[in-house]
Amino acid sequence: MRANSLALPKVVCAALRTKGRRRGISGLETRRQCHQQLSSVSRIQNLEFVIDRCRCRGARALCALVVVAPLLGGPSAARAGDSVWQYSTIAALTAGGYNGDLTAGELKTHGDFGLGTFNALNGEMIVLGGQIWQVPASGRPALVADTVRVPFAAVMRFEPHPKIAVPAGLDLTALSALLDTRIGDLGLIQVVRIDGRFPQLKARSVKPQTPPYQPLSEVLARDQVVFDLVNVHGTLVGFRFPACFSGVNAPGWHFHFLAADRRSGGHVLDLVTGPSRAMLVDGF
Ligand SMILES: [Zn+2]
């Protein structure tokens, strides 16, 4: 369902399903109310929702998103280009919500392009071309079985878009700034696929955790493993969420990398671009 929020300074915050129980939040809400709702639901693990045409606008404005298909019964397969499908929230993940009920097999039914992590925080996830890759602390990607469980992921159905030339020599900040100049509306969710060569790419993964789980900041300080990749070819999977989604997903650009030879990857901490091509999906 394509919401009409593009034309309306109105919002719907979310409607969520938690472990099969439907929970709806709808109607016009201020951003504060929206945040309150999101902060309340973000404490619930294992929720899923579809973000479809959302936007943030100014101080009074509203982050608009609608959740649809899961609440209407039946599979919530997103149509190409229409929506971002997400399971759980970044707030739940950063608080230590490292176990989910979602299987990799089900995640594939919601999108073929995306990023996330695995139960027990066992490595970084890259969803590319309908395959789900896991980059564990060893740094070596592996395809995951459909039965592997996931605590957090965001995916969409990616279709080819006009290619934007990315110049060589950009670091992550400059690359993000370049992409921002090509975005029509910074209040919308953006998705990008960048293919190319990267003279330098600093990626990370995380060692799997054991309960009781500690907050993500503590885990990263202790168990993050960094890979300094040199002259790698591959693909960046990038999502950019507006600031008003800070409890839902990470604000700003967030990239995961998978090498073309499938021998390296991870969550991107920094990089230097070589000649590359970006396909930007401008605005959800
Ligand atoms: Zn990441």
For residue range 103-159, list pLDDT tens digits in order.
999 999 989 999 999 999 999 999 999 999 999 999 999 999 999 999 899 999 999
Q: What is the DSSP string of 204-229?
A: EEE----SSPPPHHHHHHHHEEEEEE
- The pLDDT > 90 percentage for the chain reads 54
Question: Tokens 């190319």 sit at which residue?
Answer: 196
β-bridge partners, 165: 277
pTM of the model: 0.81
What pLDDT does residue 62 have? 39
Sign of the Cα pseudo-torsion (97, 115, 280, 71, in order): negative
Rounded to the nearest integer, the mean pLDDT of the chain is: 78
Ligand 1 centroid from CA 6, angstroms: 28
What CA–CA distances, in Å, run from 169 to 76, 106, 273, 274? 41, 39, 5, 6
Ligand 1 centroid from CA 123, angstroms: 10
Ligand 1 centroid from CA 8, angstroms: 32
For residues 199 and 2, what is the distance between their CA atoms, to the nearest angstrom?
A: 40
For residues 153 and 148, what is the distance between their CA atoms, to the nearest angstrom?
A: 13
Ligand 1 centroid from CA 256, angstroms: 6
Q: Are 257 and 197 contacting, i.e. CB atoms less than 8 angstroms apart?
A: no
Tell me what the mean pLDDT of segment 242-249 comes to. Answer: 75
Ligand 1 centroid from CA 73, angstroms: 31
CATH of domain 5-156: 3.30.1330.80
How many residues make up the chain in this entry?
A: 284
- The region of weakest confidence among 18-22, 43-47, 252-256 is 18-22
CATH of domain 163-281: 3.30.1330.80
pLDDT, tens digit (0-9, with 9 covering 90-100), for 31-61:
445 545 554 444 443 455 566 545 554 433 3
What pLDDT does residue 219 have? 97
Start-end of CATH 3.30.1330.80 domains in the chain? 5-156, 163-281
